[in-house]
Amino acid sequence: MAKRAIDYGKNIADGSLDPMELLSSVYEKIDASDVADDIFTVLTHDRAEEEAQASRKRRREGKLKSPLDGVPISWKDLFDTKDIATEAGSKLLEGRTPKKDCIALKRATDAGMICMGKTHMSELAFSGLGINPKAKTPPNINGTDLAPGGSSSGAGASVAQGFVSIGVGSDTGGSVRIPAAWNNLVGLKTTHGLIPNDGVVPLCPGFDTVGPLCHSVEDAWVATAIFAGMDFKIPESKPISECKFLISKTVTLDGLGEDQEAGFYDAVNKLSSAGASIEYSDIDTMNDIQALGPILFPYEAWQSWGEAIEAQPDLMFEPVKNRFLAGKDTTREQYETAWHKMLEMREIYHAQVAGYDAVLAPTVAIGPPSVTELLNDIELFQKTNLIALRNTRFFNMFGSCALTLPTSKPASGLMVVGKPLAEKDLVSVGLSIEEILNA
């Protein structure tokens, strides 16, 4: 069977695949799996069957709503789903049941996409590792004891395990790109504000974004366009010989794991051999903006959840709770000073990269660590989490959109970073990069 959502959509459109049969095959595969319970918080059978029946009817009447009409997808458990528990991976929100869908889910439903289930995640989305002993830790496709990447851990696992072709996640500091990279998937971190966060459980409102994890750049574009309410026609790919890329010699290339380094440079060499122009430069704003992360993210996270955490601190996994606590003593003045510095650095950075189609970097500096080892050592957990988030988090602070694409090595992603609100241009370049990397 096809892996790409766009291919399922084409098969539904030409009548060779029935939406009800596709949904049944998804649930049959889940029922036969020994890891599904670690991936899904709930399977929305009744809703999915109703939606699939409606898609079948539209197909027969020639009234399909989008290229993904009839395609089942999964949703991270921080997207509000009408009358379905949405708990954001946290015991603090146990039993929370929204009365309506979030905007992204509503738009997906309006486009005919099938909500077949919700997926596990890091507690309140504040960890890049995907390990959640308070709920479930989804499997990594590359090894049973390897961290799946977070916070959209279940979203990535639902796609990597072949249950769905798109898992919807969120990215505040890397939470779409890390699990995508560590599970050999494509992930798209959208520009903040492109897709409304209405009805999405917040972490850091100044940085939270919605994005897909999937098997192709085409899938990422169509899903994103639907969630954002944009035209979902796939952009033309930009010839690689016309592409100009920049690689920062600052920070993002430091301390790479063996596979992450090999996968990144293999990808760069393939692009160069295909005719891309690639330059290396020091981007000094990375060093400067890195120091602002420990102020900005914990402060916003604590403002969102500090009161609830202080009321019931024992309900949280200690290393994740500690990340929230790091923002407790940050003052509003310190935060606003850091925020204004960040905005200044954004301007400098975007002026530096204005002449390039994209900035390239290893998505994650390291490969997925052992879950067992991290659970046995809280300090190691906290240190490893920050290393995992390092490369991705830069571009949340710079306000960029970014793709991650699989490379020749497992759990090694190539991050392709575009300009704010330039997802269409990024996808145009990403399509060409994907073709070369898959050749």
pLDDT tens for the chain, 439 residues long, are: 458 999 999 999 999 999 999 999 999 999 999 999 999 999 999 999 999 999 999 999 999 999 999 999 999 999 999 999 999 999 999 999 999 999 999 999 999 999 999 999 999 999 999 999 999 999 999 999 999 999 999 999 999 999 999 999 999 999 999 999 999 999 999 999 999 999 999 999 999 999 999 999 999 999 999 999 999 999 999 999 999 999 999 899 999 999 999 999 999 999 999 999 999 999 999 999 999 999 999 999 999 999 999 999 999 999 999 999 999 999 999 999 999 999 999 999 999 999 999 999 999 999 999 999 999 999 999 999 999 999 999 999 999 999 999 999 999 999 999 999 999 999 999 999 999 999 9
Q: Which pLDDT score is estimated for 3? A: 86
Catalytic, 76? Answer: yes
DSSP notation for 383-404: HHHHHHHHHHHHHHHTT--EEE
- What is the per-residue pLDDT for 2? 55
pLDDT attached to residue 130:
98
Phi/psi of residue 19, nearest 5 degrees: -55, -35
DSSP 200: B
Told to judge if 151 belongs to the known catalytic residues of this protein, a careful annotator would answer: yes
The domains found in the chain, sorted by start residue, are 5-228 (3.90.1300.10), 240-293+316-438 (3.90.1300.10)
Cα separation of 321 and 314, whole Å?
A: 9
Which residue is catalytic, options 66, 74, 76, 400? 76
Per the document, the length of the chain is: 439
pLDDT at 1: 46
Two tokens, residue 208? 């939270």
User: Cα–Cα–Cα angle for 300, 128, 254, nearest 5°?
Assistant: 105
Q: Is the distance from CB of 172 to CB of 305 less than 8 angstroms?
A: no
Backbone angles phi, psi at 276, to 5 degrees: -70, 145
Work out the mean pLDDT of the chain and round it to a whole number.
Answer: 98
- The share of the chain scoring above pLDDT 90, in percent, equals 99
Spatial CB neighbours of 35, under 8 Å, sequence gap ≥ 6? 138, 139, 157, 161
Contact 220, 187 (CB under 8 A): yes
Closest-CA residue to 416 (of 352, 348, 363, 355): 363
Q: What is the pTM of this model?
A: 0.98
Catalytic residue among 55, 66, 90, 151: 151
Query: Are the beta carbons of 91 and 127 closer than 8 angstroms?
Result: no
- Check if the beta carbon of residue 128 is closer than 8 Å to that of residue 149: yes
The residue annotated as part of the active site, out of 158, 170, 175, 412, is 175
